[in-house]
Structure 1
Amino acid sequence: MDYLPDDNSRYKDVTYWDERYTTEQCYDWLGTVSKFQHLLEKFVKKEDSILILGCGNSSMSGDMYSAGYRSITNIDYSSVCIKTMSARYNHCPGMTWHQMDVRQLSFPDASFDVILEKATLDAIMVDEKTPWEVSPQTACFIHKALTEISRCLKPGGRFVSVTFAQPFFRKRLYARTEYKWSIKHHSYGEGFEYFVYVMTKGEKLSPEDAALEKKPLKDTESPPTRIASISNEDKEDFLSNIDL
């Protein structure tokens, strides 16, 4: 793939993405919407106001619009991406595009029914070598992002996170009482399993999930065996190097 960086750390570099989006037309991390549409339809209503984080040049927003979702706000920190995607979908009233950092969302409190991300948080964690020791810098980044996501959700709103990260690792990042949401997860995929986490604002964590917030990583049980090697659809190599 022509767009693979020399080093995974470049996935966190906006200049890398600006360069990539200058020529790349479309890339769908973890598959297209059709792969998990049966799950999405359970948690996202056509009339919902939706925010998509790290939209990139994915077809997801366009596919959702075609499926009848009409209130879609997209953000990405690449100005090149936003300019390109805004022009591509300028015929879609109700779809907007904004350059923005996920850690500092420029929206009022309780703005959205649904906030959706697909592999955006995965890309943030490209430098992590083990799921047991997330660096303080990355942990701070993720916490700021999740705090902003919670703030911008309406009561009863859902944060939907689509990722390759297994529950054993990812739920520990989402399970904080201060986010004021519950956590449920589902999976999809053939051969390689992907996961869809649904956090509902205003619901309490289950006792099991609440315990994750207090349990030191060194006291956790052994992790599950990795389910499969990287799928043929996702050849971006950082996905095969980290397990978060």
Structure 2
Amino acid sequence: MEHLPEDNSRYKDVDYWDERYKTEQCYDWLGDFSKFQHLMGQHIKKEDSILVLGCGNSSLSGDMYSAGYHSITNIDYSSVCISAMSSRYRECPGMTWQQMDMCQLSFQDASFDVVLEKATLDALMVEEKSPWSLSQPTATFIHQSLTEISRCLKPGGRFISITFANPFFRKRLYARSVYNWSIQNYSYGDGFEYFMYVLTKGEPLSAEDVALERKLMEDQAPHPPRSREKVPEEDSEEDFLSTIDL
């Protein structure tokens, strides 16, 4: 690929995206709108106010506009992207573009019916060594972003997340009562399977997701050190493994 970075860490670097957007016209991660339109149509009304996070140069917003969704606010942290896309869609009334960081949204509470992201959160996790445990900086950034998303959703509003991450891993991020939403998930794709999550503001987590949250909180809680009994001197050589915390 012409724009493939030398290192995955560059996906988190705004300078990389600025340079890429200077020459790249369009790229759609995880398929274009036609691949999941049938799913989104079940959860987004044509009159809904929609916020697209990390819009990039994807055709998603333009395709949605053509399909009848005419109240779309797009944000991206690349000024090059926002300049190019606002110019490209300047004749689409109701479509706006703003440079903004998704963990510090400048919108008022309850501003949108729908907040949508496609592979934006995935890009934030490209450097993570394990899907089981995120590094503290990444975990903090994602929590701040999800908190902001929930804040900006109207009661009954939906956060729609499109990703390659299956429920086994992605629900570990979303199943938190503090966000005040329920979780549904769907899949789509031919050959490669992708996933769409619909998180509805004001609906409770399912019993299964409550149990998942509880388990995750227990796993993260600090454990008191295990007490060690003194091993008799004569048995110390054979039994030393019993004193090691594995």
User: Would you call these one fold, judging by a TM-score over 0.5?
Assistant: yes
Shift of 1:210: 1.2
Whether 1:89 and 2:124 are equivalent positions in the alignment is: no
Which AA in structure 2 matches 1:67?
A
Q: Counterparts of 1:60 and 1:174 in 2: how far apart (Å)?
A: 23
* Residue equivalent to 1:6: 6
What runs of 5+ residues in structure 1 fail to find an aligned partner? 220-244
Give yes or no for contact 2:161–2:196 (8 Å, CA) kept in 1: yes
Q: Deviations over 1:113-153 (max 9, x none)?
A: 00000000000001012111211111001000000000000
Q: Counterparts of 1:150 and 1:204 in 2: how far apart (Å)?
A: 13
Shift of 1:214: 1.8
- Point out 4+ residue stretches in structure 1 off by more than 6 angstroms: none
* Residue equivalent to 2:236: none
Q: Deviations over 1:155-206 (max 9, x none)?
A: 0000000000000000110011010000000000011110000000000000
* Residue equivalent to 2:31: 31
Secondary structure in 2 aligned to 1:82? helix
Whether 1:150 and 2:114 are equivalent positions in the alignment is: no
* Residue equivalent to 1:17: 17
Figure out how many residues of one structure are paired with residues of the other and give that number.
219
Shift of 1:216: 3.7
Give yes or no for contact 1:132–1:217 (8 Å, CA) kept in 2: no
* Residue equivalent to 1:80: 80
> CA 1:134–1:218 in 2, change beyond 3 Å: closer, same or farther?
farther
What runs of 5+ residues in structure 2 fail to find an aligned partner? 220-246
Q: Deviations over 1:1-31 (max 9, x none)?
A: 1100000000000000000000000000000
Q: Deviations over 1:76-121 (max 9, x none)?
A: 0000000000000000000000000000001000000000000000
Give yes or no for contact 1:51–1:114 (8 Å, CA) kept in 2: yes
When Rg is computed on C-alpha atoms for both structures, the one with the higher figure is 2
Q: Which moved more, 1:103-112 or 1:210-219?
A: 210-219
Give the structure-1-normalised TM-score: 0.88
Secondary structure in 2 aligned to 1:64? helix
* Residue equivalent to 2:114: 114
Q: Counterparts of 2:94 and 2:177 in 1: how far apart (Å)?
A: 34
Secondary structure in 2 aligned to 1:42? coil
Shift of 1:70: 0.4
Give the structure-2-normalised TM-score: 0.88
Relative contact order (C-alpha < 8 Å, sep 6+): which is higher? 1
- Structure-to-structure mapping, 1:218-237, within 5 angstroms: none
> CA 1:4–1:206 in 2, change beyond 3 Å: closer, same or farther?
same
Q: Counterparts of 1:3 and 1:177 in 2: how far apart (Å)?
A: 39
Give yes or no for contact 2:172–2:216 (8 Å, CA) kept in 1: no
Give yes or no for contact 1:165–1:194 (8 Å, CA) kept in 2: yes
Q: Counterparts of 1:7 and 1:213 in 2: how far apart (Å)?
A: 33
Q: Identity of paired residues, percent?
A: 75
Q: Counterparts of 2:211 and 2:54 in 1: how far apart (Å)?
A: 30
Give yes or no for contact 2:113–2:158 (8 Å, CA) kept in 1: yes
- Structure-to-structure mapping, 1:83-232, within 5 angstroms: 83-216=83-216
Q: Counterparts of 1:217 and 1:172 in 2: how far apart (Å)?
A: 10
Question: Aligned Cα RMSD in Å?
Answer: 1.1
